[in-house]
């Protein structure tokens, strides 16, 4: 695939942005400064990045409980996201949603989701709207290996296919639904095999290789835009942290984690960029530092923002 330096650098920066954002959250959650649940995307950055960089701003995505990566990759604002996760009035949802409910309709982000399998039917609706209104937009549904078993997900695959909707299903197979390994929740090894049941292409890619993800998704997006219907891309990856921050993670072994950490998508891509003279070591260092500063500023913004006022509680219940 021939990608411009600009696109490659955008992917590189996006992955770093997600990485540093999540590491910050990890730190502040441990310090007790973030309420509620936080599910980190560490280790899976290549999936959201490779997939969302195949989309335009007006394309739509549905996300999951592990959504920070998707939202950032789709262009989500660091400050507004951070403030929301800290429960501040200046956040994306004015502090009413938190980590699992961040949305930005202007960027085509139909929300993270606290319900496993909640996004599938919504993405069908988004794709349907695009087809109905004859826009050029496509929708993309992110969902986990666990979510792939939900009836809602299977129903969405079926309807999208029956109606030839412009929809790309991006399965993030990180091997576990909380403590349940994939082998205990389904008999198939490749979730992409399920695509056959709905007569759509099913592709397995290395989810820790941002270019592999991107390439497969670009194909699927093309197909969707041409009106040829949905595709299912399965990205094999791994989450580095427990299911949520605070999970002791006793159900998987350290060796497995170490093995996957060896496949860290960011240094892999960085090495490729340096090798191909797209990036110098000095530029790489500068990039990490610059983004670290952006993330710090986002934290600063969040922490200096006010908590929501109780007088706002009843706002936005009805239009």
Partner 1 sequence: MSEKTYLQALNEALRQEMESDEKVFILGEDVGQFGGCFGVTQGLFAEFGEERVMDTPITESTIVGAAAGAAACGLRPVAELMFVDFIGVAFDQLFNQAAKMRFMFGGKATVPMTLRMPQGAGIGAAAQHSQSLESWFMNIPGLKVVIPSTPHDAKGLLISAIRDDNPVVFLEHKLLYGATGEVPDESYSIELGKADVKREGSDVTIVAYSQMLYSALEAAEQLKADGINAEVVDPRCLLPLDKDTIIDSVKKTHKLVVAHEAVTFAGAGAEIAAIIADEAIEYIDAPIKRVGAPFCPVPFSPPLEQFYIPGAGQIIEAVKSIC
Ligand X SMILES: Cc1ncc(C[n+]2csc(CCOP(=O)(O)OP(=O)(O)O)c2C)c(N)n1
Contact 217, 51 (CB under 8 A): yes
Residue count of the chain, please give it.
Answer: 319
Contact 39, 117 (CB under 8 A): no
Residue 105 neighbours by CB under 8 Å, 6+ apart:
none
Quickly tell me which residue has 């009035």 as its tokens.
Answer: 89
Within 186-231, where are the H helices?
A: 210-225
Distance CA 178, CA 165 (A): 31
238 binds ligand X (CB under 6 A): no
CB of 101 to partner 1, least distance (A): 6
How many residues sit close enough to ligand X to count as binding (CB under 6 A)? 15
Residue 47 neighbours by CB under 8 Å, 6+ apart:
69, 142, 170, 172, 207, 213, 235, 237
* Closer of 161 and 173 to ligand X (Cβ): 173
Name the residue with the smallest CB distance to ligand X.
144
When binding is defined by CB under 6 A, the residue of 5, 35, 115, 136 that contacts ligand X is 115
Closest CA to 309 of 100, 103, 97, 90: 90
99 binds ligand X (CB under 6 A): no
188 binds ligand X (CB under 6 A): no
Residue 295 neighbours by CB under 8 Å, 6+ apart:
17, 20, 21, 24, 78, 82
Residue 66 interacts, among partner 1, ligand X, none and using kind-specific CB cut-offs from 5 to 8 Å, with ligand X
When binding is defined by CB under 8 A, the residue of 24, 79, 88, 241 that contacts partner 1 is 88
* Contact string (CB under 8 A) for partner 1, positions 131-170, x = contact: ---------------xx-xxxx------------------
Residues that bind partner 1 (CB under 8 A): 35-37, 87-89, 93, 95-98, 100-101, 113-117, 146-147, 149-152, 177-180, 184-186, 250-251, 307-308, 310, 312-314, 317
Residues that bind ligand X (CB under 6 A): 65-66, 114-117, 144-147, 174, 176-178, 243
């Amino acid at each position: 695939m021939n990608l411009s330096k600009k696109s490659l650098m955008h992917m590189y920066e996006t992955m770093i942005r997600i990485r540093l954002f999540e590491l910050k959250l990890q730190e502040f959650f441990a310090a007790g400064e973030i309420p509620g649940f936080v599910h980190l995307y560490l280790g899976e950055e290549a999936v959201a990045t490779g997939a969302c960089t195949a989309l335009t701003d007006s394309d739509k995505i549905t996300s999951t409980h592990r959504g920070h990566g998707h939202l950032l990759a789709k262009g989500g604002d660091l400050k507004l996201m951070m403030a929301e996760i800290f429960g501040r009035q200046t956040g994306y949802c004015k502090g009413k949603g938190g980590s699992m409910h961040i949305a930005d309709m202007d960027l085509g982000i139909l929300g993270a989701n606290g319900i496993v399998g909640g996004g599938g039917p919504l993405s069908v609706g988004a794709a349907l709207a695009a087809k109905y209104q004859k826009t050029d937009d496509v929708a993309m549904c992110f969902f986990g290996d666990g979510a792939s078993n939900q009836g809602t997900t299977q129903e969405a695959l079926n309807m999208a296919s029956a109606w030839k909707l412009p929809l790309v299903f991006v399965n993030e197979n990180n091997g576990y639904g909380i403590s349940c390994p994939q082998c205990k929740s389904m008999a198939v090894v490749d979730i992409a095999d399920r695509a056959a049941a709905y007569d759509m292409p099913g592709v397995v890619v290395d989810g820790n290789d941002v270019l592999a993800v991107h390439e497969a998704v670009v194909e699927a997006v093309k197909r969707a835009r041409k009106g040829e219907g949905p595709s299912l891309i399965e990205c094999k990856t791994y989450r580095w942290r427990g299911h949520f921050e605070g999970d002791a993670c006793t159900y998987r072994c350290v060796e497995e984690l170490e093995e996957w950490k060896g496949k860290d998508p960011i240094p892999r891509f960085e090495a490729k960029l340096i090798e191909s003279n797209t990036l110098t070591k000095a530029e790489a260092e500068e990039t990490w530092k610059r983004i670290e500063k952006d993330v710090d500023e986002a934290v600063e913004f969040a922490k200096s923002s006010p908590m929501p006022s109780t007088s706002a509680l009843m706002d936005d219940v009805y239009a």
